[in-house]
Amino acid sequence: MLKKFLAGATTALLALGLVSLVAAPASAHTGDLDVTAVCNTQTHQYDFTAKLKIAQTSLNGSTHYKVGTSTFDHTPKQSDPTFSGAAIVSTNNPSTITLTTFSLPGSTTGYGPWVYAQTTFTDNYFVGSDGQLLQPLDGTCGDDTTKKITICHATASGSNPWVKQTPNVSSIIQGLGGHGSSGVNVDDIIPPFDYTQNGVVKHYDGNNWSAGGQQIWNNDCTQPGAPRGPTYTEAVCTATGQTGDATVTIPSGVTGAQYWIKSSNTGNTYATIAQGTTASFPAGTTVRVKVTPLSGYELSIKPVEFASHPFTNVASKCVQPVQPTVVQSTCTAPGEHGVPSYTIIATDHVTYKVGNSTVSGTKLVYGALPKTVTVTAVVSYGYILVGPSSFTLTFADPGDCLQDVSVTVGFENAICTAPSTSTDATYTLPDVKGVSYSVTINGVAADSSVGTHVVVPKNASIVVDVTADPGYRLTSPGHNTWSYTDPGACLVDAGVSTVPTFSQTACNVYVPGGITPAAYTLYAADHISYEVSTDNVTFAPKAVGTWNLDPGQHVWIHALADPGYILVGPGEWDFTSADLGVTCDYDATPATPAWVDAVCHDARPGHTHATYTVIAAEGVHYKVSTDLGATWTDATPGVVVKVAPDAVVWVQPIADPGYQLTDSSILKHEFVDPGNCELTIDYVQPTATDATCTEGDVTPGSYTLADVEHVTYNVRVNGVLTKNVAPGTYTADNGDHVVVTTVADKGWNFGDAGRTVKWIFDFVSDGLCAVSPVEATVTDQICTVGEFKQGVYTDGVVTIPSTTGVQYTLDGEDVDAGPHSVTPGDHIVAAIALENYKLADYTGPWTLTSKLAPVCGDLPSHPIVLPEIGDPQGCAATATFTLGNNLDVADAVIWTIDGQPANAGSHSIAVGTSVHVHAEPNGPVFGFTEDQQKDWTVAFTNAATCGDLKTLALTGGSLPTGLIGGGALLLVAGLSLLSVQMLRRRRDQV
C-alpha cells in the first residue's frame, strides 16, 4: 500500500477507465501504484501517468481504476461499480501496466489527484491499491520565458548600426544584457510577443516597433539598400532523356522593392513575382529578372535589370542504367536443381561490367550457392549517369531439393460381418512415388507390391519396412509392425426381447354373455423361433401370434436361436388354462321414454307437437304400439316421434342377447290435448295525408300501412284491388278513392273486430302553393337641367315586385324583380305562376303608363321638318298614298300606320277602308313646330275612273290650305323659314 499524501489544492474528478490483466495468485498483493507528472513544453500542461506493478501471476483477473480528487478517500476494500476501464491480458511474468494518462493545467500546484485501483481474481480474491505524486507541483509548467526572440541590437557603428541577436524572453522583460527600454541601449528594435510567466499569459508591446524599425527588422537588421539578385538552379537528370525543372529563387527581405520576371516560353513579358518565391521553368528556358522601387522608396542602383540567364537542357545526355533481371536456381527434380542466371538489359550509351569483363545478354552463374554478382554500369563519355551505377545480384541456395514423401501403411483386422462370417485380415501398401517396401508375415517374406493383400492366418504378425528412393526424404515412420486379431466363430447373441404372455379363461367384458378363451402370445424377436407341445414330449414349430387354449389345456413353449446365433436369457415357459362353469349374461335396465304433451305456443297461435322419445339403454331394445297393443313396431332410441295431441302409446322393453332385464314392465302414456290455441293481436289504423305545398315544394298525397307482425293489407284504389300489399307509405293522386282492409294472419284475430277491419280515404288536394301576385308600379319620364343648362331626360321606371312562385313579364318578355327603364307610353305587366304554384286573387294583366316629361332647360336649335301626306291614287280596288317631308330627307320623320312603323314613300290602301297615320320628328336632329299636326286618318272611299283625281279625305287635324291646294305654298314657306332661323325644340330621348 502506498503512503497517503494529502494535497493542498483539489482537482476535478476525471474520467473512469478499465484495465483487464492476468492477476497474481490469490494470496499475492497486486503491487504498488505509482503516479508521476511531467511538464509538456508543447502544451504547457502537466502530463500524468498512473502505473501499477503486477507480480508474477497464475490466475486471471481484472483491474479497474478511478481518478479521484486531491483529498484522500479510502483504499478500495471491495468491488466498486463506479470503477471502469478496458481489459488487458498479462503473461505470468512480472510486469508494470499503465492504468491511465491524463493532463492538468500548467498552473496546477500540490500533489494532484489520488488514483485508486481494484483487482479481482478468478477465485474472487480482491486487492485494492492507491497512489499520489511524491513531490508537489510548483505550477510553472506553462512558463516559456526561456524561448528566444529575434531582435536588432543597436551598436555604436556608423556603417553597421544594428546586428541580429536572439536573447531569451527573461532577459528582455528584465532589461538584462542591455535590451529593452529600461536598459542602456534604448535603440534596440524588439518586436511585440506573448509569453507565459508563473502560469499567466502576458504581452510585451515591443521596442522601437515603428514602421522604420519594422523595415530594418524585416531586412535582417540592415538598412534598405541595393537590391539583391536572384539565385538560379539548373535542371538535373531524372531518367533517361528526362530532366526536372530549373528554378529561380527571388530573395526575400528587400524592403521597398518589387521584383519582376520574364521567360522565353511566356513571350518575354515581365510579370510581378513575390519576394522569397521559387519559380520553376523547363530546362532550356531563358529567364531575366528586374527590380523596381515601390512607392516612397528609392533604389541605390537605378534601374536594376539583372543579366539574362539561359538554363541548360541536358535531357539528351541523361542515361539511366537498367537493373539486370535475375533467374534463381530452382529444384528441377528430386535431389536436383538448375543453374541460376542473370540477363543484361541493353541500354544506349551504357556498358555493363562484372569485374573488368564487359557482359551482355544472359549469363549463367556457376559455383556453390548462395553467392552474389556485382554488375557495374559505365556511361559513355559526355553522358550523365542517372540512378545507381552498380547492381548487386543475389542468388539463393535452393537447398538439397529432396522431395518429402509420406506413407501410411493400412492394416485391417478380420471382423465379423455376419453370423459365422468374417472378413479377411489385410495390409495395404499405397502407391507412393519415391518409396519401396519390404514385408514379412510371422517372419516369412511376403508380397511387397503396391496394393492390398490378404494375411493368413488371421492372427498373424506383420512387419512392413518403407525405404525412400534417391532424391526423396521419408517423413513418415519407416518401420511398421502390426499384430492381427482373429474374430473367432462370429456367433451373435440372440434373445427373446418380449417373453410370451398368457391370459386365463374369463367372461368377455365386451360381449355380453360371451366367454373369452385362455390364450398365449408369442412375440417376434430377431433370429428367434418357437416350438410348442401339449404333452411336453412332442414339440412342433409355432409362428409368432396369439393362440387360444381349450379349458383345462396345458402348453409348453421353447425359444430356439437361428444358426450362427446363440440364445441368451430365458427360453422355456408353460401354462394351464382354467374352466369357468358360470353364466356371463349382463343385467339390463330399461329407460323410461321421454313423453312430451302438446302445449299452446306463448307468442304465436297453435300448439306444439305431442312427442315421445325412446331412451337407449345398454342391452335393451324396444317395440311400440298406438292401437292398444294390436300391432307392435320396432322403436329407434333417440328419435323424436310425433303423435296426435290426444294419442295413447305403449312401449315394451326386450332384452338383447347376453342380457337379462331387471324390469320387463310395459310402459304406457296418455297424451293431453291442449285444445284451441288462437292469439289476439292489436291492429294499427292506416294514416292518410292530402297533398300539401310548402314554399314551392309539393308533397304528394299519401297513405301509410304500419308494419304489424301477423297482419297483411288488401288495398283497393279507384276500384282496383291489390292483395298482400307490403307495409309502407304509398302516394295518391288528387281525386283517388282508397279502401284499405287490414287482415289478421291465420290463428290471429283483432278481438271483437274479427280478422278484418276496413278503412276509406278520399284525396281532394292538388298540392299546389297558392300565391297572390302584386301589381307593379310605374314612374314618369323626368327632365332635369344639366351642367350646361340643357335638358337631360331620364326614362320612367317600371318596378317589378318580388313574389315567391310568380314570374312577371313586361311587354311580353320575362323580367326579374326590380326596376326596369321604359320609354314614355303604355306598358303591359303580367304574372305567370311558376311550377308547383297557382295564382290566387290575380287582377292582371296590368297596363302601366309612363308619361312624357315636360321640356326643361335651353332647347338646342335643329332643322324644322314638315310631314307631307299625298292623297290616295288609283282607280282599282286598291290605291296608293305617299308619306314624305318638305326636306326630302327620308328618315327626318318617324311614321306609323295603325301603330306599326312605316317608312317614307308609297303605301297601299284598299277601297272602302281607312288607316291612322302618326308622325314624329326624328330628334334630336329634326324637329316639328310646336303646333305641328301629328295624327291623320287616310280614307279611300270609292275607286275613281282612271284619270280622275279624287280629293284625299283628311281628318284629325287641319292645314292652312290643305296639302293638295296649298302644299307648294307650305313647302316654300317652310324652306324660307328654315333659311331664316332654326326652331328650338326638345331632344327626344333614345
What is the rounded end-to-end Cα distance, in angstroms, of the chain?
A: 127
pLDDT tens for 548-564 read 998 889 999 999 988 88
- What's the confidence (pLDDT) of residue 58? 65
pLDDT band for position 819 (50/70/90)? very high
pLDDT at 982 over 90: no
Higher pLDDT, 945 or 366: 366
- Match 485380415 to its residue by C-alpha cell: 425
> Which is more confidently placed, 956 or 335?
335
pLDDT at 515: 82
Lowest average pLDDT, out of 119-123, 275-279, 897-901, 942-946, goes to 942-946
Confidence grade of residue 772 (pLDDT, cut at 50, 70, 90): confident
* Percent of residues, the chain, with pLDDT higher than 70: 86
**pLDDT digits over 849-860, tens only?**
988 888 787 655
Give the model's pLDDT for residue 342. 96
Mean pLDDT lowest among 146-155, 390-399, 528-537, 651-660: 146-155
Of the candidates 792, 775, 774, which has an alpha carbon nearest to the alpha carbon of residue 783? 792
Higher pLDDT, 528 or 927: 528
H or E stretch including 965? helix 963-980
Q: pLDDT at position 85, please?
A: 57
**DSSP run (H or E) holding 973:** helix 963-980
Q: In angstroms, rounded to a whole number, what is the distance separating the alpha carbons of residues 3 and 899?
A: 141
Q: Is pLDDT at 974 greater than 90 in this prediction?
A: no
For CA atoms 179, 181, 184, 186, the dihedral sign is positive
Q: Does residue 98 register a pLDDT over 90?
A: no
Q: Report pLDDT for 692.
A: 86
Predicted local distance difference test score (pLDDT) of residue 986? 30
For range 749-764, the mean pLDDT: 88
pLDDT digits (tens, 9 = 90+) for 240-265: 999 999 999 998 888 888 999 999 88
Q: Residue 164 — very low, low, confident or very high, per pLDDT cuts 50/70/90? A: confident
Confidence category of residue 3, pLDDT binned at 50, 70, 90: very low
At 95, is the secondary structure helix, strand, or coil? strand
3-state secondary structure of 968: helix
Instruction: Read off the amino acid at residue 693.
Output: C
Q: In the structure grid, which three cell numbers stand for residue 628, read together?
A: 292398444
- What confidence category does residue 84 fall into, taking pLDDT thresholds of 50, 70 and 90? low
Give the residue from 811, 741, 746 showing the smallest Cα distance to 776: 811
What's the pLDDT score for residue 279? 93
pLDDT of residue 952: 39
Q: In what order do the strands lie in the sheet with 231-233?
A: 231-233, 246-249, 278-281
Range 300-306 average pLDDT: 61
CA dihedral 468, 472, 475, 476 (to 10 degrees): -30
* Burial class of 948 by CB neighbour count within 10 A (0 to 12, 13 to 18, 19+): exposed
533 versus 267: the higher-pLDDT residue is 533
For 793-815, what is each residue's pLDDT tens digit? 888 999 999 888 899 999 989 99
Positive or negative: CA dihedral 964, 966, 970, 972: positive
Region 214-226: mean pLDDT is 72
Question: What pLDDT band is residue 160 in, cutting at 50, 70 and 90?
Answer: low
CB 144 within 8 A of CB 125: no
Can you read off the three cell numbers belonging to residue 336?
Answer: 536436383
DSSP conformation letters of 180-245: STTSS-TT-BB--EEEEETTEEEEE--BS-SHHHHHHHHTTTS---SPPPPEEE---EEETTEE--
Pull the grid cell for residue 85.
Answer: 476501464
Range 947-956 average pLDDT = 41
Give the pLDDT confidence score for residue 943 in this predicted structure. 60
| Residue range 767-795: mean pLDDT, rounded | 85
Residue 351 predicted with pLDDT over 80: yes
- The model's pLDDT over 221-232, given as tens digits with 9 standing for 90+, comes to 876 555 677 899
The DSSP line for 723-770 is: EEEPSEEEEE-TT-EEEEEEEEPTTEE-GGGTTEEEEEEE-----PEE
Contact 832, 807 (CB under 8 A): yes
Q: What is the mean pLDDT of residues 386-402?
A: 92
Concatenating the DSSP letter of every residue in 240-270 gives TTEE--EEEE--S--TTEEEEEEEGGGTT--
Q: How far apart are CA 971 and CA 951, in angstroms?
A: 20
Distance from C-alpha of 83 to C-alpha of 72, rounded to nearest angstrom: 16
pLDDT digits (tens, 9 = 90+) for 664-673: 899 999 999 8
With a cut of 70, say whether residue 368 has pLDDT above it: yes
pLDDT at 945: 54
What is each CA distance from 158 to 161, 162, 179, 222, 223, in whole angstroms?
A: 6, 9, 19, 12, 12
Q: Can you tell me the distance from the alpha carbon of 986 to that of 253, in angstroms, rounded to the nearest whole number? A: 108
The mean per-residue pLDDT over the stretch 203-214 comes to 83
Q: Which pLDDT band, with edges at 50, 70 and 90, does 728 fall under?
A: very high
Q: What is the pLDDT of residues 487-508, one digit of tens each?
A: 888 888 888 888 999 988 888 7
- pLDDT reading at 521 higher than 90: yes
Tell me how far apart the alpha carbons of residues 324 and 342 are, in angstroms, rounded to a whole number: 6
Q: Comparing 969 with 539, which gets the higher pLDDT?
A: 539
Please name the residues in contact with 328: beta carbons below 8 A apart, sequence gap of 6 or more: 340, 395, 396, 398
Euclidean distance between CA atoms 523 and 542, whole angstroms: 11
Cell numbers linked to 10: 483539489
Work out whether strand 410-412 and strand 782-785 pair parallel, antiparallel, or are unpaired: unpaired
Least confident of 153-167, 328-342, 604-618: 153-167
∠ CA 445-450-453, rounded to 5°: 60
Task: Determine the average pLDDT of the residues in 389-418.
Answer: 92
273 band by pLDDT with thresholds 50, 70 and 90: very high
> E-strand spans in 609-709?
610-613, 620-625, 633-635, 640-643, 648-655, 659-661, 667-670, 679-680, 687-689, 692-694, 697-699, 701-705
Categorize the per-residue pLDDT at 78 as very low, low, confident or very high, splitting at 50, 70 and 90: confident
* Interatomic CA distance for residues 690 and 909, integer angstroms: 62
What pLDDT score was predicted for residue 88? Answer: 52
Establish whether the linkage from the previous residue to 924 is cis, with ω within 30° of 0: yes
Q: Return the C-alpha cell found at 436.
A: 519401396
Q: For the ranges 23-32, 356-365, 535-544, which has the lowest average pLDDT?
A: 23-32
pLDDT of residue 596: 94
Kind and range of the H or E run holding 303: none
384-385 and 318-319 beta bridge pairing: parallel
Amino acid 92: pLDDT: 52
Strands 586-588 and 659-661: parallel
Statement: residue 144 has pLDDT above 80? no
The pLDDT of residue 929: 84
- Is the pLDDT assigned to residue 5 strictly greater than 50? no
Beta strands 17-23 and 86-87 are parallel
pLDDT at 443: 92
Residue type at 150 in one-letter notation: T
H helix and E strand count, the chain? 3, 98
Residue 950 banded pLDDT, cuts 50, 70, 90: very low
DSSP notation for 440-459: EETTEEE--SSEEEEESSTT
Instruction: Please report the pLDDT score of residue 195 as a whole number.
Output: 84
The mean of the pLDDT values for the chain is 82
Average pLDDT over residues 751-772: 87
Average pLDDT over residues 959-972: 32
What is the C-alpha to C-alpha distance for residues 193 and 684, in angstroms, rounded to an integer?
115
Segment 423-429 mean pLDDT:
92
Instruction: Give the whole-angstrom CA distance, residue 170 versus residue 179.
Output: 11
Question: What are 608's three cell numbers?
Answer: 306444439
pTM over 0.75: no
Which range among 50-59, 229-238, 674-683, 814-823 shows the weakest confidence by mean pLDDT? 50-59
For residues 930, 932, 935 and 937, what is the CA-based torsion angle, rounded to 10 degrees? 160
DSSP 429: E
Residue 930: its pLDDT value, please? 78
